[in-house]
Amino acid sequence: MKKKQFKTESKKLLDMMVNSIYTHKEIFLRELISNASDAMDKLYYRSISGENVGMDRSEYAVILTPNKDARTLTIADNGIGMTEEELETNLGTIAKSGSFDFKRDNEAKENVDIIGQFGVGFYSAFMVADRIVVESRPYGGDAAFRWESDGADGYVVTSCEKATHGTEITLYLKADTEDEKYSEFLDEYRIRHLVKKYSDYIRYPIKMMVEHQHPVKDKEGEYETVREWDTLNSMVPLWRKNPSEVTEEEYNGFYRDTFYDFEAPLRVIHAKTEGTVSFDTLMFLPKNPPYDYYTKNFEKGLALYSGGVMIMEKCADLLPDHFGFVRGMVDSADLSLNISRELLQHDRQLKVIARAIEKKIKNELEKMLASDREKYEEMFRAFGLQLKYGVYADYGMHKDVLKDLLLFVSSAEKKYVSLKEYTDRMSEEQKNIYYACGETVDKIDMLPRVEAVKAKGYEVLYLTDDVDEFALKVLGAYAEKEFLNVCDNKMELGTEEDRAAIQAENEASADLLTAMKEAIGDGVHAVRFTNELKNHPVCLSTEGELSTEMEKVLNSMPGAAGQAKAQTVLEINVNDPIAAKVKALHSADPAKLADYAKVLYAQARLIGGLSVENPAEISALICRYLAE
């Protein structure tokens, strides 16, 4: 029989396993038991989705068999099993299992620590064994196959005999050394301890044949040895336990096993709710979005259980879209077990639970914002976009749930602020909540209008995501303060006299301004003088509902190119020498004025983060005047 080679990725991981430090090695048992539990789940789901599997739920079990003479530990399950091909693909390579992605992402970090915390599946068995034999028979098939490997140099698959479906994994433990005693994994108490520590919540019994000393009946003082099955785990699902009895390690291990994430969750929400509908829930805020999170392939939802028995793997109705990143489960004895999916959608109890869940998540996030700012910001960096879409979605239906969860970077310290923090520190005379949009915080910070507003001592929110301004438009106001784009013409910074003065100036210069507008063409809605800019000679503002940022976003949507048009206004700083220059050119050299108008408009667009429509023409003009 020809030995087959592991894929290179698997080899690397094998090396890592073999060389990991000793204290992490014990997690191999958790990994193999979790795989067994998954395999039983898969078969069990088939039976609840209507197939006659011929097995009662109570018949599923993991059997552990230590054999001290042979130095082997066997982990057997009666789950779905594997075909010959599955043995090859599942155990011959880990390239496509989550383990490898994690390995690649963490190459630079402390490998061994991650093994200890999260484990890496089947391959972890090579931490304690130098030879592994897997015998498996798939459910519904009659052929069984044996996969065996003694580590890095490959594996062999042959056919074998196996009476029932399921998988049996035999580990040939490594020889003991001075400081690494692998034989302890054959010790009954060590095994019991490991199952309790890592796998107590597994919902199928984990059994081991043990010897007990029983007093002999009617013979005082005499004992006999009785061999009997013992179940090592309590099987109480983690979410049904009392939160005070669950350790962080248990939560993290459970989260990892259930959701195949390699990072510990940012926060755990574990609650028991009594009321019209009573339910237990265990939810997790992941640290990172799943790789497909912002695609349409992503399916949100919580697992739904009735009295510890799963009814549905992902119940989308339990989670609003804006909290779609939350993972976890809900268990309610009040739900009927044989409820169908269609009925579930209209189930009144389910709606009550969903509302309570939304509230719970919201409260938890608010608590986090108040008491664990750093973690909250980490959450917001990962999922804030989702929250902002949530404000905008469904015509703002959820804005009240979400408005206090939003963060924006502001001009004050270039750090995240909430809307409450912003409005709480607004000065009396500030009428609006100011914001500005752009590609990056640094670019926004340099906008002429932003500079002017900051000079007045006002704080400005810096919006860098496409959805931001749309979300603020839907919100309209916060704490009765309306949002105002600093580039909006409604924005007034000066005193009443200032405004009267600039209005008079603009009226007196009407001809000049019209001439400039005509030179620029359709691109611009108007040209005006302003006395609100600090250092900058020109800037762009808008009139009407649409900002230039919104124009950009709307036009980037498929099929919409060029349809949205913001009404842009070229503003010229009346106190800048360029103002006197254009006034002089108006009568002296109208052709040159036209060139100046085009260049000034192009500059205003560039500063505003917009592209110039006629770059070649503008470049030629600038060079001509530089050469003068």
Nearer Cβ to ligand ADP, position 77 or 469? 77
Q: In whole angstroms, what is the distance from residue 549 CA to residue 470 CA?
A: 10
Nearer Cβ to ligand ADP, position 91 or 128? 91
Is the alpha carbon torsion for 68, 73, 79, 81 positive or negative?
Answer: negative
Residues of span 78-117 touching ligand ADP by CB under 6 A? 79-82, 90-91, 94, 97-99
Q: What is the dihedral of CA 209, 213, 215, 219, to 10 degrees?
A: 110
CB of 98 to ligand ADP, least distance (A): 5
Stretch that binds ligand ADP, among 31-39, 352-360, 389-397, 413-421 (CB under 6 A): 31-39
Q: Is 145 exposed, middle or buried (0-12, 13-18, 19+ CB in 10 A)?
A: buried
Q: In whole angstroms, what is the distance from residue 524 CA to residue 267 CA?
A: 50
Q: Which residue has the tokens 């620590």?
A: 113
Nearer Cβ to ligand ADP, position 93 or 273? 93
Q: In whole angstroms, what is the distance from residue 77 CA to residue 165 CA?
A: 9
Q: ∠ at Cα 12 (10, 13), nearest 5°?
A: 65
CB of 99 to ligand ADP, least distance (A): 5
Q: Which of 180, 69, 178, 75 is nearest to 133 (CA)?
A: 75
Nearer Cβ to ligand ADP, position 206 or 597? 206
Stretch that binds ligand ADP, among 120-128, 201-209, 211-219, 611-619 (CB under 6 A): 120-128
Using the rule CB under 6 A, is 73 a contact of ligand ADP? no
Cβ-proximal residue to ligand ADP, closest one? 121
DSSP calls for 290-308: -TTTTSTT----EEEEETT
Using the rule CB under 6 A, is 301 a contact of ligand ADP? no
Stretch that binds ligand ADP, among 77-85, 205-213, 314-322, 534-542 (CB under 6 A): 77-85
CB of 167 to ligand ADP, least distance (A): 4
Stretch that binds ligand ADP, among 48-56, 73-81, 382-390, 456-464 (CB under 6 A): 73-81
Contacts 24+ apart (CB under 8 A), 407-411: 407/377, 407/380, 408/435, 408/461, 408/462, 408/463, 408/468, 409/441, 409/461, 409/462, 409/464, 410/459, 410/460, 410/461, 410/462, 411/445, 411/450, 411/454, 411/459, 411/460, 411/461, 411/462
Nearer Cβ to ligand ADP, position 66 or 81? 81
Using the rule CB under 6 A, is 77 a contact of ligand ADP? yes
CB of 15 to ligand ADP, least distance (A): 16
Q: Is 273 exposed, middle or buried (0-12, 13-18, 19+ CB in 10 A)?
A: middle
CB of 400 to ligand ADP, least distance (A): 41
> If DSSP codes are grouped into helix, strand and coil, which group holds residue 494?
coil
Element spanning 87, H or E:
helix 84-92
Nearer Cβ to ligand ADP, position 154 or 243? 154
Using the rule CB under 6 A, is 35 a contact of ligand ADP? yes
CB of 37 to ligand ADP, least distance (A): 9
> If DSSP codes are grouped into helix, strand and coil, which group holds residue 210?
strand
Among residues 100, 122, 251, 262, the one that binds ligand ADP under rule CB under 6 A: 122
Nearer Cβ to ligand ADP, position 162 or 449? 162
CB of 381 to ligand ADP, least distance (A): 27
CB of 189 to ligand ADP, least distance (A): 25
CB of 543 to ligand ADP, least distance (A): 57
DSSP calls for 240-303: GS-GGG--HHHHHHHHHHHH--SS--SEEEEEEE-SSS-EEEEEEE-SS--TTTTSTT----EE
Is the alpha carbon torsion for 228, 229, 232, 235 positive or negative?
Answer: negative
Stretch that binds ligand ADP, among 74-82, 149-157, 402-410, 428-436 (CB under 6 A): 74-82
Stretch that binds ligand ADP, among 8-16, 29-37, 50-58, 263-271 (CB under 6 A): 29-37
Nearer Cβ to ligand ADP, position 77 or 532? 77
CB of 151 to ligand ADP, least distance (A): 15
Nearer Cβ to ligand ADP, position 63 or 493? 63
Nearer Cβ to ligand ADP, position 62 or 463? 62
Q: In whole angstroms, what is the distance from residue 451 CA to residue 310 CA?
A: 58
Whether residue 251 contacts residue 259, with contact meaning beta carbons closer than 8 Å, is answered with: no
Q: Which residue has the tokens 């860098």?
A: 464
Residue 376 contacts by C-beta under 8 Å, 6 or more apart in sequence? 365, 368, 369
Nearer Cβ to ligand ADP, position 28 or 185? 28
Q: What are the backbone dihedrals phi and psi of residue 131, each rounded to the nearest 5 degrees, phi first?
A: -150, 135
Draw the binding track, 150-189, toward ligand ADP (x: CB under 6 A; -: no contact).
-----------------x----------------------
Q: How many residues bind ligand ADP (CB under 6 A)?
A: 19
Q: In whole angstroms, what is the distance from residue 78 CA to residue 71 CA?
A: 23
Residues of span 238-277 touching ligand ADP by CB under 6 A? none
Question: Residue 487: how many CB atoms within 10 A of its CB?
Answer: 26
Stretch that binds ligand ADP, among 35-43, 240-248, 275-283, 300-308 (CB under 6 A): 35-43
CB of 268 to ligand ADP, least distance (A): 22
Nearer Cβ to ligand ADP, position 9 or 77? 77
Pairing of strands 302-306, 327-331: parallel
Nearer Cβ to ligand ADP, position 5 or 440? 5
Residues of span 549-608 touching ligand ADP by CB under 6 A? none
Q: In whole angstroms, what is the distance from residue 326 CA to residue 330 CA?
A: 12
Nearer Cβ to ligand ADP, position 83 or 430? 83
Nearer Cβ to ligand ADP, position 77 or 488? 77
Whether residue 269 contacts residue 360, with contact meaning beta carbons closer than 8 Å, is answered with: yes
163 Cα distance to chain centroid: 44
Among residues 16, 17, 29, 36, the one that binds ligand ADP under rule CB under 6 A: 36
Q: Which residues, in sequence order, are bridge partners of residue 570?
A: 527, 540
Among residues 39, 486, 569, 604, the one that binds ligand ADP under rule CB under 6 A: 39
Nearer Cβ to ligand ADP, position 4 or 443? 4
Using the rule CB under 6 A, is 121 a contact of ligand ADP? yes
Pairing of strands 567-573, 526-530: parallel
264 Cα distance to chain centroid: 12
CB of 138 to ligand ADP, least distance (A): 9
- Expressed in angstroms, the distance from the first to the final Cα of the chain is 86
Q: Residue numbers of the site for ligand ADP (CB under 6 A)?
A: 31, 35-36, 39, 77, 79-82, 90-91, 94, 97-99, 121-123, 167
